[in-house]
Amino acid sequence: MKMLAPQEDKVSIGLRTISLGEPDDPQQPTAWQGPLRVGRCSFDIGIIELPIALTSKGQLFVATYSGSVRNIALFDLDACKVRWEGQAFAGALQLTSDELKMGDEVLKLDGECVPITKPHAH
């Protein structure tokens, strides 16, 4: 897992450039208005914040927020789709190579860095 550091309104991954939209501060941005754009793909996901992380499989974790509610999603850039999306949460967000901490919830990541979730009871 590699944490990415955007420059102004974009972040580069090899030959790809990911556009994050308008930054809150061009000199030291901490949030971007979106949408998230990569080549022909565009995702309208709300206000983008750090962390933005690239998995070893070339997928992208992107954190977002709206008010005090935060979320994180995993994007498959080759297939141009959302691979996984978390539940909205409040609190701190931490992402490591083997787990994702969202507030009080901790999810382990599988071999493809996809969070392992428990089935919801109905």
The CA-based angle 98-101-103, given to 5 degrees, is 175
Tell if the pTM clears 0.75, that is, is over it: yes
Considering only CA atoms, which of 101, 100, 84 is closest in space to residue 92?
101
**Taking the CA of residue 83 as centre, how many other CA atoms within 13 Å lie in the half-sphere pointing to its CB?**
18
pLDDT of residue 68: 87
In this prediction, residue 117 has a pLDDT band, given cuts at 50, 70 and 90, of confident
| Per-residue model confidence as pLDDT tens digits over 44-92 | 999 999 999 999 888 999 999 988 899 999 999 999 999 999 999 999 9
Q: How many CA atoms lie within 13 A of 109 on its CB side?
A: 22
Backbone angles phi, psi at 115, to 5 degrees: -60, 140
Backbone CA torsion sign across 68, 94, 34, 31: positive
- The amino acid sitting at 64 is T
Neighbours of 43 (CB within 10 A): 20
